Chain A
Amino acid sequence: MTGYLAKRAGQMVLTLFLIVTLTFFLVQAQPGDYATFYALNPDLPADVRAQIKESFGLDKPLWQQYLVHMKNTFTGNFGVSFGHFPRPVLEVLAERLPRTAVLFLTATAVSFYIGFFLGKAIAWRRGGVLEYAATISGATLFTAFTPAFGLMMIWIFAFKLGWLPVGKFLDPLIWRGAEVSANHVFSYMLVTGAAFVAFAFLVLLFFRRSGRIGPAPLVGPVIGAAALAIPVAWAFSDIGFLALDILRHMILPIVTLTLISFAGTMLLTRNSMLETMREDYVMAARAKGLPEKVVRDRHAARNALLPVVTSLVYSLIFAIDGSVIIEGVFSWPGMGMTLLDAVRSEDLPLVMGSMVFIGLFSLLAHVIVDVLYVYLDPRIRYQ
């Protein structure tokens, strides 16, 4: 396992290296360079232009520029953003990365759960009304034009019903008198969320080890109590109302992203279930007289899960792309919106930086899926 992880980490660094190389040469291949971008001003004398070129290192040969760029990238020096001058790229990205991570991880987890649950159900009762309804609505949502769908959600829930805010990360009216920064509050929220997930996982793991079939009776109440305690604790803290404001802004993008991405998992689970349902062990389980629900959940679905997890990589990439679009539509200031803004204002250092980080993001997702797979399938032991 350790050796396997080391190998994967090595591959990851290599892939990251290739992504950095790719972005570098793409930027080089485009017409014009950094210096002309700044020096297009006709009032600039020739020697000033040369000076600008020199300060960007553009008077050196290409391979030297490439080496410098590579060294800078891997030492965390992404340069200074043009658009957010004089903030360094890394600082801008570090502020926005957690926002994207929350949006994307929550939506992926929820849509995976819903997709797996529905896919299991429609495969089990093949040909029913539920199958047609779920397949058609799922595929429609899956292929729906994301920006238009996002705007429709805003129109319904924010404009017509007025339940949720229209977009953006926070409401300036609420934050006007606040003494803490949004990132401060948001990082506390992140810590709380992560702690809750870890706690729930540990509880499940602990009670599962006791050798029972099915969830132990205590699991629900314990996790439920924790889930209740968190909002109460937040309500008594003096930044509770600020956190609530961020939370309200988070709901609509997460729901939208979930709706467009659950169908992939659902349709795949259905196919995978149809294959496992024909296996002999499912018939054996039925013959033993086990209840239908146990046969479905613990014999068929458990084995149907494996190919679904393998393809989780694809759905993760789909969700990363989806979150880029969703962030643009909802003005959610994460990586995706940073990329879009940087692209529109030709903020090249920021474009390269966010592309590298989005690449890093998907690589990490890859590795997590691999590790998950080892955990789920005891037949696989990586040497």
Chain B
Amino acid sequence: MITPQPDQHAIFGEPPAGPEPPLVDLHPGRSQMAMARARLALRSFRGGWAIFVESRIGVLSLATIVLFALMAISHPILMATVWDAEVYDPVTGYAFDRLEHPSPPNWRHPLGTDPLGRDVLSQLLSSTRSEFILGITAALVTVGIATTVGAVAAYYGGLVDSLFMRLADLIIALPGISLLIVLSALFKLNLFYLALIIGVLGGFGGTAIILKSQALSIRVKPYIEAARVAGGGHFHIIFVHIIPNLLPLSLLYMMFTVTGAIFAEAVLSFLGLLDLRMSWGIMIHTANTGGYLLGGTRYWWLIVPAGASITFLCSAFYLVGRALDEVVNPRLRRHTA
């Protein structure tokens, strides 16, 4: 006689009441499966979270990202309530209340004004939002492409595999910033195209190779064979069995892509090559073209807020990625579970 395991109860829930309920529900319904999946996901999330919290640097960085996200949200709210658009608009505003620009921080302008009389804090906050949009778009594109390419290349192998891997080799060999400099000179790049280009380059490049090697080790797992025996098609196996198991590693590489995207945008904006309204890179570009950068600490509010924001947000995403690495890669952990 089969006795129900306590585990299975925990996962699939109590067996439905009915005439002669089977001890183990061998054909759980769709909603029950979803529930079971959700509980499993929650459990693995809790386990991962416990490991993540162990890394103090990771938690601190996550807090930094949340802080920046709050900054991004605060800008539209402030513009709608406290700030007058004529004075505080990040691009077209002009601080009439100050006689000379750039003016140092004061009560009305907590981070001073830039050489064109615009409020620096407002610029900083409004740029935060576009950096998040850029970083997350690029990361989603990268991970979407890389996960699919990695899974497909690992699953099919042969010609498909070597085609994608040679492409990845080619992209790795190209220095990204140099290529973006050339591209931005030839075409007008805005935030969306930039995110798309960074995403595509990352997705077909190094990230695809790493995800493919992970997918290779998933492909030989017994449950893939079981799925095949049960009659699962190629599409089903790739998208239902391989890709969900790649997602933790994908999340990790999302973090690194965000860092790269924000950094690339800042460099290109600093060089004055992008078609953007406002960003941290443009703020430093404005200060630089005005000759204020070599003034050192005298005009600190033109450089420090934007420069520090770039550094902090980039390194926060990078360090969260590294903390996630310890979650995903058991060999890096301090204690073996």
A340 to B170, CA, bound (A): 23
Contact A320 B296, beta carbon cutoff 8 Å? no
A346 to B280, CA, bound (A): 26
Contact B176 A317, beta carbon cutoff 8 Å? yes
Q: In the assembled complex, which residues on chain B have CB atoms less than 8 Å from the CB atom of A343?
A: 181-182, 184-185, 273
CB interface residues, B 5-63, toward A, < 8 Å? 57
A30 to B311, CA, bound (A): 33
Contact B178 A324, beta carbon cutoff 8 Å? yes
Q: In the assembled complex, which residues on chain B have CB atoms less than 8 Å from the CB atom of A154?
A: 294
Q: Can you name the residue of chain B whose Cβ is closest to the Cβ of A366? A: B173
Q: In the assembled complex, which residues on chain A have CB atoms less than 8 Å from the CB atom of B334?
A: 126-127
Contact A18 B170, beta carbon cutoff 8 Å? yes
Contact B303 A359, beta carbon cutoff 8 Å? no
Within the complex, the shortest CB–CB distance from B318 to chain A, in Å, comes to 5
Contact B267 A147, beta carbon cutoff 8 Å? yes
A145 with B266: in contact, given A26-B182, A160-B296, A278-B331 (CB under 8 Å)? yes
Q: In the assembled complex, which residues on chain A have CB atoms less than 8 Å from the CB atom of B184?
A: 343
**Partner pick for A321 among B175, B185, B186, B273, CB 8 A cutoff:** B175
Contact A143 B182, beta carbon cutoff 8 Å? no
Within the complex, the shortest CB–CB distance from B123 to chain A, in Å, comes to 16
Give the bracket for the number of chain A residues in contact with chain B. Answer: 35 or more
**B177-201 vs A: 1/0 string, CB under 8 Å?**
1110111111100000000000000
Q: In the assembled complex, which residues on chain B have CB atoms less than 8 Å from the CB atom of A274?
A: 331-332
**A252-270 vs B: 1/0 string, CB under 8 Å?**
0000000000000001000
Contact A147 B270, beta carbon cutoff 8 Å? yes
A126 to B166, CA, bound (A): 38
Interface contact tally, CB-CB below 8 A: 128
Contact B57 A136, beta carbon cutoff 8 Å? yes
The majority secondary structure among interface residues of chain B is helix
Contact A15 B311, beta carbon cutoff 8 Å? no
A27 to B172, CA, bound (A): 21
Q: Can you name the residue of chain B whose Cβ is closest to the Cβ of A347? A: B185
B134 within 8 A of A: no
A280 to B307, CA, bound (A): 46
**Partner pick for B315 among A11, A132, A140, A355, CB 8 A cutoff:** A140
A358 within 8 A of B: yes
Contact A267 B170, beta carbon cutoff 8 Å? no
**B298-337 vs A: 1/0 string, CB under 8 Å?**
0000010001001100110011001001000001101000
B284 within 8 A of A: yes
Contact B332 A359, beta carbon cutoff 8 Å? no
Contact A358 B175, beta carbon cutoff 8 Å? yes
Contact A324 B181, beta carbon cutoff 8 Å? yes
A199 within 8 A of B: no
**Partner pick for B318 among A18, A142, A317, CB 8 A cutoff:** A142
Contact B310 A145, beta carbon cutoff 8 Å? yes
A234 to B180, CA, bound (A): 41
Contact B311 A145, beta carbon cutoff 8 Å? yes
Q: In the assembled complex, which residues on chain B have CB atoms less than 8 Å from the CB atom of A160?
A: 296
Contact A340 B186, beta carbon cutoff 8 Å? no
Q: Can you name the residue of chain A whose Cβ is closest to the Cβ of B263? A: A143
A363 to B169, CA, bound (A): 10
**B149-189 vs A: 1/0 string, CB under 8 Å?**
00000000000000000000110111111110111111100
Within the complex, the shortest CB–CB distance from B32 to chain A, in Å, comes to 40
Binding site for B on A (CB under 8 A): 11, 15, 18-19, 23, 26-27, 29-30, 126-127, 132, 135-136, 139-140, 142-148, 151, 154-155, 159-160, 267, 271, 274-275, 278, 313-314, 317, 320-321, 324-325, 328, 336, 339-340, 343-344, 346, 351, 355, 358-359, 362-363, 366
Beyond A145-B311, A148-B270, 12 additional pairs, beta carbon < 8 A: A19-B170, A127-B334, A143-B311, A144-B311, A145-B270, A160-B296, A275-B331, A314-B206, A317-B176, A355-B178, A355-B182, A358-B175
Binding site for A on B (CB under 8 A): 57, 169-170, 172-179, 181-187, 206, 259, 263, 266-267, 270-271, 273, 280-281, 284, 288, 293-294, 296, 303, 307, 310-311, 314-315, 318-319, 322, 325, 331-332, 334
Q: Which 5 A-B pairs have the closest CB atoms?
A: A143-B314, A343-B185, A321-B177, A30-B186, A148-B307
* 18 CB-based A-B contacts, threshold 8 Å: A29-B187, A143-B263, A145-B307, A145-B311, A147-B271, A147-B284, A148-B270, A148-B307, A151-B288, A151-B293, A314-B206, A321-B177, A339-B178, A355-B179, A355-B182, A358-B178, A362-B173, A362-B175
